[in-house]
Amino acid sequence: MSQYQSNIQSKIPDHDVGKFLTPFQLRLLQKNLQENLLNSSRQRIEIMLLADQGKSQTAICQILGCCPATARYWIHIARTGMAHQWQACPVGRPKAVNEKYLERLQELISHSPRDYGYSFKRWTTNWLQKHLAKELGIELSDRHIKRLLKQLGLSTLSKPRKLETIVDKNAINSSILIHDLKSGDIPENYEFLEINSNN
């Protein structure tokens, strides 16, 4: 056990009944605390153990020298009964998106998913995220993928044909001729009325 570990052990005494942790969670965290862990992993456990003893967020920050956001997050994990899953959350910031990722994203969006063995015709942000996570090992949320696509001027949505263009092509030199309307009030030799739609 290192000097750091022994100093922290003295700050977190053994206890049987706490505010948040079940006896199983308490034993598990204390057992994990004995192992050779990264300082950040050790700090997670220490925050939850101190919170279970009734220490405030401010006191935990002073004891461990951690930031309030970290203390607040792990106190919340202990309070919600999820302390036994403390290892499920990755340590540190997520991997950053690099140029290779952005280039691959552009390449994927410019091709059909069928070119990559999928059965659907159009990419969704969810499928782009899954494909890129599998291929490059960088996991992002669907929202982040959508944000990246927007920054690149791309979208998973098909571009609708502009109605104005369609109307303009059809409207050039077109006119409507009204005829074949018979009414009892209009004599048959009446002139046709021409309406120009370019106005």
Q: Is the dihedral of CA 95, 98, 100, 105 positive or negative?
A: positive
Indicate if 144 and 174 belong to the same structural domain: no
Q: How far apart are CA 117 and CA 193, in angstroms?
A: 59
Q: What is the pLDDT of residues 160-182, one digit of tens each?
A: 655 555 555 555 556 666 666 56
Indicate if 76 and 132 belong to the same structural domain: no
Q: What is the pLDDT of residues 107-137, one digit of tens each?
A: 999 899 999 888 988 999 889 988 988 888 8
Three-class DSSP category at 130? helix
Report the domain count for the chain: 3
Instruction: Sort strands 175-178 and 193-196 into parallel, antiparallel or unpaired.
Output: antiparallel
Of 66, 88, 110, at which residue does a domain stop?
Answer: 88
What domain range includes position 147?
99-151
Q: Kindly report whether the global pTM for this prediction surpasses the value 0.85.
A: no
